[in-house]
């Protein structure tokens, strides 16, 4: 946690965790409420197997700017129809991981592959470089469902290898004392029905195994 706290200075770790977890939980609750309206339409139900994920994504995209009221040092950049949370030293890319932080990521968009693998696009300057503006990359990954809301959230650094994240370090935001918005119970995870793209990290020498697991 000390490594993360130093990267996000001057923002206190608890302030960032609390604001982000509330925002993610609110997205699940708002999308679930819309599904009830979709199922109860006067002309019949009009929800479908992607409507919850689409509504959740649109909520996150449309409301990310409200985080700046709680974290004045934060900038929200919705470039490429995705969301990057920028602090002075880091860019935080958030995305859904239905199978958890060490599970399969499934199919990923071209932009996400660039962000998660650090792959060059053979241009003079890559999209991740444009987006990050020299900042280090952090990944905020989460999962949840209509029934259970936000069921987990993690933050760390790493890269994607064979459709899985190979983490240099990662820890659960539940480990931050006082973190709110992440229920400890876990339930069935919703399918990866809507994929948001966002940034990955520059490759760098790995820390020792002990450091990687204590993060």
Q: Say if CB 80 and CB 131 are below 8 A apart.
A: yes
State residue 154's pLDDT score. 96
pLDDT tens by residue, 21-42:
999 999 999 999 999 999 988 8
Strands (E), the chain: 75-77, 84-86, 90-96, 136-145, 149-161, 164-172
State residue 174's pLDDT score. 83
| 149 backbone dihedrals φ, ψ, rounded to 5° | 70, -150
State residue 187's pLDDT score. 39
State residue 114's pLDDT score. 87
* DSSP SS3 for 62: helix
pLDDT tens by residue, 153-170:
999 999 999 889 999 999
| 67 backbone dihedrals φ, ψ, rounded to 5° | -65, -25
How many Å apart are CA 202 and CA 43, to the nearest integer? 51
Q: How many domains does the chain have?
A: 1
**Residue range(s) defining the domain that contains residue 14:** 2-214
Q: What percent of the chain has pLDDT over 70?
A: 79
* DSSP SS3 for 170: strand
State residue 179's pLDDT score. 53
pLDDT tens by residue, 59-84:
999 999 999 999 999 999 988 888 99
């Amino acid at each position: 946690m000390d490594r993360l706290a130093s990267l996000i200075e001057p923002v206190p770790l608890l302030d960032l965790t609390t604001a982000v977890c509330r925002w993610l939980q609110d997205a699940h609750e708002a999308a679930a409420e819309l599904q009830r309206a979709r199922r109860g339409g006067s002309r019949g139900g009009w929800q479908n197997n992607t409507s919850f994920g689409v509504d959740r994504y649109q909520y996150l995209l449309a409301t990310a700017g409200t985080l700046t009221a709680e974290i004045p040092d934060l900038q929200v950049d919705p470039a490429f129809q995705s969301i990057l949370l920028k602090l002075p030293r880091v860019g935080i890319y958030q995305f859904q991981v239905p199978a958890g932080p060490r599970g399969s990521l499934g199919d990923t968009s071209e932009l996400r592959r660039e962000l998660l693998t650090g792959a060059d696009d053979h241009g003079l300057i890559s999209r991740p470089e444009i987006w990050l503006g020299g900042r280090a990359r952090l990944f905020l990954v989460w999962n949840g469902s209509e029934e259970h809301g936000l069921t987990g959230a993690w933050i760390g650094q790493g890269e994607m290898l064979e459709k899985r994240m190979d983490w240099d370090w990662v820890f659960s935001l539940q480990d931050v004392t006082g973190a709110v918005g992440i229920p400890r119970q876990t339930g069935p995870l919703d399918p990866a029905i809507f994929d948001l793209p966002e940034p990955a990290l520059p490759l760098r020498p790995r820390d020792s195994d002990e450091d990687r697991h204590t993060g």
